């Protein structure tokens, strides 16, 4: 037992992020060994997680929480049960091997340190995702995996295809992320629970609720985008632009399994309905067959594996949809087996690519002599992918067939799909792992030789684990299968995995049938490839094309909208803004009856006779006069500079009024703002090379004047309405009473700014800084453009790039830059 369980479980998700921050530094100083060194962190996490296993087997689950926003009942809570432990151990275990592998695979790459940082950050996000109990935390980590995946796919950012793959993955998975957020909030609104562990204790879950359909749609969209289900599968093959360790880690063993994890996690309170089963089995079956067939179309080994991953994900979704005890047991065993062999096979493909210089299956052959250890690793992977004993994958297949041996036609249909899918997958496995090694030797772009040790540890170890798990079947069943399956179904599941193979059982013969079909598909791979290509060209478009069309349309739409709203005419911007202000002021006053408070009532009698001048002192009259002088000067003056100065005088008068009526802070600030406004406006004016005078045609003058009068009148009336009502002084009373005792300050304005509402101020200063950066960008941008001749004012049809605020009536007589 660890001293503080809460902290140490939280650390599992946080430590990789810390390691990520340090990774570039570590790499700089220990370059050749950084892979070995950094792999220690995931390895330690793996060891810690495994040490939790006995407790989870005994108690079912461990929860941990640290306070997040206690006022709102939000905790950063974690929850380790059989399901999350299986996922977390897979992530950290494979993660350690991947980091080791990357050190060798990208050896000497100038950005290897950064790559390691991304990988570790991804691992942290993924661990957080599977350990999170709070659904908002789940969403947060879910999005973090998308972001880190984006960085990793686009790692080789100089290639256009890598950038495209990265953006595509981000867009598609983020659509799912948004759906997940919507789903999470809906569930919280319905049940009042943020926590997954509480949700699964609900009687009958959400199944009977009126919004069940909507919630289900949100979660399914999230899971289907993340786990690349048909027809949203197309981002996954494009994500293979990433370096091979990334494909092995993110796009086979972990990130794409997040959708599967989500579905498994919500099974206790969402699963089992007609809609659930139909949708999951339907989409899963289509994805399985589509992915497996599409794999035959490819000649690139990595693409073949990518397509087969889509198929495997479909298979898992299908099994979760079935939801029977054997199906769920199949999910757990298949997830583990798949993660082990698929990550291993990806690493093998990476090794072939690295050492032979190509991964095109038609250009490879006879590598077994040159890369014997790699061949062994590939063989172990293929054994599992085909589902032969003695690998754990064999039992996964047995388990999934077992529950479908009923005379029901639906079960038989699913069984047929599963057999076909498994057979095709097995054939792909054989093609990827055996074809490049056997047969006559083919000349490769690089003289092939054995891969370095760090690149072999992973696939060999993973392949061996697949066999060890099968050999220690009862231990595996007891420590992995039972806790995980029980966690998914929220009831105790007993394993019946056994080595005693009953030759009378049809399951064995279905397996044999699968292998037979696989052998046929392996022999006919070329024929299948031609068929699939003919089918694809007959179809005429791919999901990829649809994505491009949608994205292009979106950009066109955004461009059109920008041109409509952002036309570049400053006077129209200002006119629109002030017109809206006038509308916002006047509408409530007249349409909603606000003005009634100002109208003299009948009881007042002869109210005009009772009007009198306010008793103002002489200096107050002076301030009033100053404001008037400023105002008149602005309207009368024809020179721009005079107007700016007059505006400053008027503002100063307002500041003096603040001072007289006891708001020194406000007055002080107002003074400074007025001075700086005059200075900056004057500078802007000189910079824009405006004419000294501002001649306006009468219609402009009338329009601007009318707007000014309406806005001014609106503000004045609004303020008068405000002072007719009772002022609610609760807030100011609170501040007056508490500013000294609890905030230790006598200046209430300042105390509010930096203490009571410090968070607001933090936001305000951030906005201020951002505005400053934007203004500086505009200034530099303008300066760069001075080389080109100044054209006419930007018209409404100008391209988006050319749009920048162009002042009205800029003269064309602009002097060339000195």
Residues that bind other proteins (CB under 8 A): 69-71, 664-665, 668-669, 672-673, 675-676, 679-680, 683-684, 687, 743-747, 749-751, 753-755, 758-759, 761-762, 765-766, 768-769, 771-773, 775-776, 779-780, 783, 786, 817-818
Give the largest Cα separation in the chain, rounded. Answer: 115
Closer to other proteins at the Cβ: 580 or 778?
778
DSSP state letters, 519-582? HHHHHTHHHHHHHHHHHHHHH---HHHHHHHHHHHHHHHHHHHHHHH---BHHHHHHHHHHHHH
| Distance of closest approach, residue 740 Cβ to other proteins, in angstroms | 9
In angstroms, what is the minimal distance from the CB of 642 to other proteins? Answer: 17
Q: What's the rounded Cα separation, in Å, for the pair 115 and 102?
A: 9
Measured from the CB atom, is 709 or 774 closer to other proteins?
774
Q: How many CB atoms lie within 10 A of CB 417?
A: 20
Nearer to other proteins, 449 or 687 (CB): 687
Least distance (Å) between residue 753 CB and other proteins: 6
Nearer to other proteins among residue 577 and residue 762 (C-beta):
762
CB of 783 to other proteins, least distance (A): 7
**Within 13 Å, how many C-alpha atoms sit on residue 338's CB side?**
31
Helices (H), 80-111: 82-105
Kindly tell me which of 145 and 739 has the beta carbon lying closer to other proteins: 739
- The least CB distance from residue 679 to other proteins, in Å, is 6
Our CB check for other proteins shows the closer of 590 and 661 to be 661
Q: Which is nearer to other proteins, 516 or 781 (CB)?
A: 781
Q: Distance (Å, rounded) from C-alpha 108 to C-alpha 106?
A: 6
CB of 233 to other proteins, least distance (A): 41
Which position has the token pair 């905790």?
75
The neighbouring-strand residues paired with 81 are 61
Nearer to other proteins, 605 or 758 (CB): 758
Instruction: Please tell me the distance from the alpha carbon of residue 374 to that of residue 721, in angstroms, as a whole number.
Output: 83
Q: Which of 692, 668, 683, 681 is nearest to 813 (CA)?
A: 692
Long-range contacts: 674-681, Cβ < 8 Å, 24+?
674/648, 675/648, 677/647, 677/648, 677/651, 678/644, 678/645, 678/647, 678/648, 681/644, 681/647
Least Å distance between CB 763 and other proteins? 10
Q: How far is 742 from 533, CA to CA, in rounded Å?
A: 75
Of 501 and 776, nearer to other proteins (C-beta) is 776
In the complex, what is the shortest distance from the CB of residue 18 to other proteins, in angstroms, rounded to a whole number? 16
Distance CA(53)–CA(60), nearest Å, equals: 10
Distance CA 165, CA 236 (A): 8
Q: Which is nearer to other proteins, 167 or 743 (CB)?
A: 743
Least distance in angstroms from the C-beta of 547 to other proteins: 38
Surface-to-core class of residue 84, CB atoms within 10 Å of its CB (0-12 exposed, 13-18 middle, 19+ buried): buried
Nearer to other proteins, 523 or 757 (CB): 757
- Shortest Å, Cβ 652 to other proteins: 14
**C-beta of 617: minimal distance to other proteins in Å?**
22
Query: Radius of gyration of the chain from Cα atoms?
Result: 35
Instruction: Name which of 133, 138, 258, 266 is nearest 207 in CA terms.
Output: 266
Least distance in Å: CB of 665 to other proteins?
5
Nearer to other proteins, 527 or 684 (CB): 684
Tokens of 586: 């006047």
- Both tokens of 684, joined, read 């802007």
CA atoms lying within 13 Å on the CB side of residue 281: 22
Residue reference for tokens 């050190």: 103
Q: For other proteins, which is the closer residue by CB, 618 or 787?
A: 787
Closest distance to other proteins from the beta carbon of 729 (Å): 22
Q: Give the span between the Cα atoms of 524 and 132, in whole angstroms.
A: 46
DSSP 456-521: HHHHHHHHHHHHHHHHTHHHHIIIIIHHHHHHHHTS-------S---TTSHHHHHHHHHHHHHHHH
């Amino acid at each position: 037992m660890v001293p503080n369980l809460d902290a140490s479980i939280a650390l599992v998700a946080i430590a990789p992020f810390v390691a990520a921050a340090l990774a570039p530094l570590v790499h700089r100083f220990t370059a050749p060994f950084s892979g070995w060194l950094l792999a220690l962190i995931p390895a330690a996490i793996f060891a810690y997680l495994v040490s939790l296993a006995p407790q989870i087997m005994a108690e079912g689950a461990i929860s941990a929480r640290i306070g997040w926003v206690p006022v709102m009942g939000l905790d950063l809570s974690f929850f380790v049960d059989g399901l999350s432990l299986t996922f977390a151990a897979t992530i950290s275990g494979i993660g350690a091997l991947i980091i080791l592998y990357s050190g060798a695979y990208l050896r000497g790459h100038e950005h290897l340190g950064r790559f390691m940082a991304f990988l570790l950050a991804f691992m942290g996000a993924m661990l957080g995702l599977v350990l999170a109990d709070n659904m908002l935390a789940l969403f947060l980590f879910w999005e973090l995996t998308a972001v880190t995946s984006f960085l990793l796919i686009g790692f080789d950012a100089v290639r256009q295809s890598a950038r495209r793959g990265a953006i595509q993955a981000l867009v598609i998975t983020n659509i799912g992320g948004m759906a997940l957020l919507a789903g999470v909030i809906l569930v919280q609104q319905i049940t009042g629970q943020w926590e997954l562990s509480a949700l699964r204790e609900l009687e009958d879950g959400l199944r009977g609720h009126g919004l069940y359909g909507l919630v289900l749609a949100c979660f399914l969209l999230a899971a289907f985008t993340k786990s690349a289900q048909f027809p949203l599968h197309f981002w996954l093959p494009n994500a293979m632009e990433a370096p091979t360790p990334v494909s092995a880690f993110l796009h086979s063993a972990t990130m794409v399994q997040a959708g599967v994890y989500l579905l498994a996690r919500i099974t206790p309170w969402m699963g089992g309905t007609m809609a659930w089963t139909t949708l999951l089995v339907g989409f899963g079956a289509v994805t399985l067959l589509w992915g497996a067939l599409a794999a035959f179309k490819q000649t690139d080994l990595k693409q073949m594996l990518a397509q087969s991953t889509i198929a495997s994900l479909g298979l898992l979704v299908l099994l979760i949809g079935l939801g029977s005890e054997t199906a769920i047991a199949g999910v757990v065993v298949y997830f583990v087996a798949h993660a082990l062999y698929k990550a291993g096979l990806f690493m093998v493909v990476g090794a072939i690519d690295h050492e032979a210089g190509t991964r095109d299956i038609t250009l490879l052959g006879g590598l077994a002599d040159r890369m014997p250890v790699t061949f062994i690793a590939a063989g172990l992977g293929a054994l599992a992918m085909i589902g032969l004993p003695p690998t754990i994958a064999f039992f996964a297949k047995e388990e999934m067939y077992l529950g479908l041996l009923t005379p029901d036609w639906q079960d038989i249909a699913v069984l047929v799909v599963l057999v076909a899918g498994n057979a095709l997958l097995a054939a792909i496995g054989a093609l990827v792992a055996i074809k490049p090694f056997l047969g006559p030797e083919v000349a490769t772009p690089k003289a092939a030789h054995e891969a370095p040790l760090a690149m072999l540890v992973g696939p060999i170890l993973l392949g061996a684990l697949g066999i060890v798990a099968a050999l220690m079947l009862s231990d595996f069943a007891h420590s992995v299968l039972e806790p995980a399956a029980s966690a998914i179904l929220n009831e105790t599941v007993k394993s019946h995995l056994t080595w005693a193979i009953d030759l009378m059982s049809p399951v064995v013969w279905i397996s044999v049938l699968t292998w037979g079909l696989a052998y046929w598909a392996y022999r006919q791979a070329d024929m299948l490839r031609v068929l699939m290509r003919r089918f694809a060209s007959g179809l005429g478009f791919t999901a990829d094309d649809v994505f491009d069309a949608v994205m292009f349309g979106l950009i066109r739409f955004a461009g059109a909208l920008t041109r409509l709203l952002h036309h570049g005419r400053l006077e129209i911007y200002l006119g629109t803004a002030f017109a809206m202000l006038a509308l916002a002021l006047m509408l409530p006053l007249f349409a909603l009856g606000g003005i009634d408070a100002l109208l003299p009532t009948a009881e007042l009698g002869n109210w005009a006779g009772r009007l009198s001048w306010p008793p103002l002192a002489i200096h107050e009259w002076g301030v009033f006069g100053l404001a008037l002088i400023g105002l008149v000067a602005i309207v009368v003056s024809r020179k721009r500079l005079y107007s700016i100065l007059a505006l400053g005088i008027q503002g100063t008068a307002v500041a003096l009024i603040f001072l007289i009526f006891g708001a020194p802070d406000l007055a002080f600030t107002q003074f400074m703002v007025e001075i700086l406004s005059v200075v900056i406006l004057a500078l802007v004016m000189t910079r824009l090379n405006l004419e000294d005078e501002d001649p306006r045609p009468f219609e402009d003058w009338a329009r601007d004047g009318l707007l000014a009068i309406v806005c001014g009148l609106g503000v004045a009336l609004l303020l008068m309405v405000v002072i007719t009502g009772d002022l609610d002084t609760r807030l100011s009373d609170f501040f007056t009473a508490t500013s000294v005792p609890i905030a230790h300050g006598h200046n209430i304005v300042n105390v509010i700014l930096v203490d009571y509402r410090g968070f607001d101020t933090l936001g305000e200063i951030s906005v201020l800084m951002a505005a400053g950066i934007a203004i500086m960008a505009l200034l530099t941008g303008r300066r760069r453009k001075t080389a080109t001749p100044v054209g006419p004012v930007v018209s409404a049809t100008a391209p988006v790039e050319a749009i920048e605020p162009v002042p009205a009536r800029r003269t064309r007589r602009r002097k060339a830059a000195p």
